[in-house]
Amino acid sequence: MKKIGIIAKEGHPEAIRILEELLPWFEEKGFEYLVDEEAAKVLGRPGYPRAKVAEAADLIITLGGDGTILSVARLVCARGVPILGVNLGGLGFITEVGRDRVKEAVEKALSCEECPSEERMMLAASIKRHGELIAEYSVLNDVVINKGSTQRIIDIEAYVNGALMTTFRADGLIASTPTGSTAYCLSAGGPVLYPTVAGIVLTPICSHTLAMRPIVLPQDVEIEIKPVTKNVEVYLSLDGQVGFSLRERDVVMVAMSRHKAKLLMPFERDYFQVLREKLRWGSR
C-alpha cells in the first residue's frame, strides 16, 4: 500500500489531536498520505475533498465512530479499498481499533503481506419513479422506509423475486445487512446476524400487527418495496445518513450489491466478546 487516506469525523477534537501526533510519524516513516479537507483546515495543512481521498488512496483510515466508516464505505466500495477504523465514538461495532493502538494498527496494516480483513456484504438500493430509474445507492448498514411526522401508520407492500410477501402495516420497514443487524434493525426488534452470514433482514418498525415479525431472506433475492398509503409523507433513509423523499407510486428495489466493504482487522477479534461488551450480554 502506497497512499494512506485519512478521513476524520468533522468537528471531533480528539481526531485532530490524533492527527497532530500521527502525521509527523507518517512523514518520519516515509508514508504518503492525504487528509480530508475539513480536518486539514483545522491543522493548517493541505487537504482534499473526501471523494478525492477515496479515489486516490490505497488504504483509508477513519477517525470517528461507525458512522464515519459507513460514509467512507459508500465512497470506496467500488474500488475495494480497505478501511481501518479507529473508534472515537461510543458503541463502535465496526470500528476495530482503539485510540491507544493507532500506530501499532497502521504499522501492522502496512508492513504485513496481508493484514487480516473481513469483506462485509452491502446492499444496492435503487428508486424507480413511473418505471424510470432515478437514483441508486450502495449501503453497508440498512435501507429504511419511514413515515414522516404524521401519526398515521403506513402500508408497505413487499415483494420477493416478484412474488408478494405481505403488506406491512407499520411506521416503516428496515432492510438490513448482517453488519446493520446491530444498528436500527436491532432497536426495532430484529435479530443479530453474525457479520459474515449471507442474508438480508426485513424488520417492520412498530408493526400494527404483533404477528408481523422480522424475517431473514437469502442474499440472492431481489426485494421490491412499495409504500401504498396515499397522502402521507414517506422517506427513504440510507445508512441513516442519506435521505430521499418518496412520492406516491415510487418503488424501492433492494438487493445484494456487487460491491463489498473491506474492513481491516489488525488485531485478533472475538465477535461474541464484542456483543458481551457492547450489548452487555450476560449482564444482570
User: Is position 66 annotated as part of the catalytic site?
Assistant: yes
* C-alpha cell at position 229: 398509503
pLDDT tens sequence across 33-87: 999 999 999 999 999 999 999 999 999 999 999 999 999 999 999 999 999 999 9
* Whether the predicted pLDDT of 210 surpasses 90: no
Task: Tell me the mean pLDDT in the region 108-118.
Answer: 78
**Cα 122 to chain centroid, rounded:** 8
pLDDT value at residue 112: 63
Domain map (residue ranges) of the chain: 3-116+265-278, 122-259
Whole-prediction pTM: 0.92
Q: What's the mean per-residue pLDDT of the chain? A: 92
Catalytic residue, candidates 66, 142, 171, 250: 66
Using CB atoms within 10 A of its CB, is residue 117 exposed (0-12), middle (13-18) or buried (19+)? middle
Domain 3-116+265-278: which CATH number of 3.40.50.10330, 3.40.50.261, 3.40.250.10, 3.40.50.1100: 3.40.50.10330
pLDDT value at residue 20: 94
121, 143 contact by CB (below 8 A): no
Instruction: Report the topology of domain 122-259.
Output: Tumour Suppressor Smad4 (2.60.200)
Task: Tell me the mean pLDDT in the region 217-227.
Answer: 97
* Whether the predicted pLDDT of 261 surpasses 90: yes
pLDDT value at residue 126: 97
* C-alpha cell at position 42: 483545522
Measured between alpha carbons, how far is residue 42 from residues 8, 12, 35, 46 in Å? 11, 11, 11, 10
Place of cell 433492494: 254
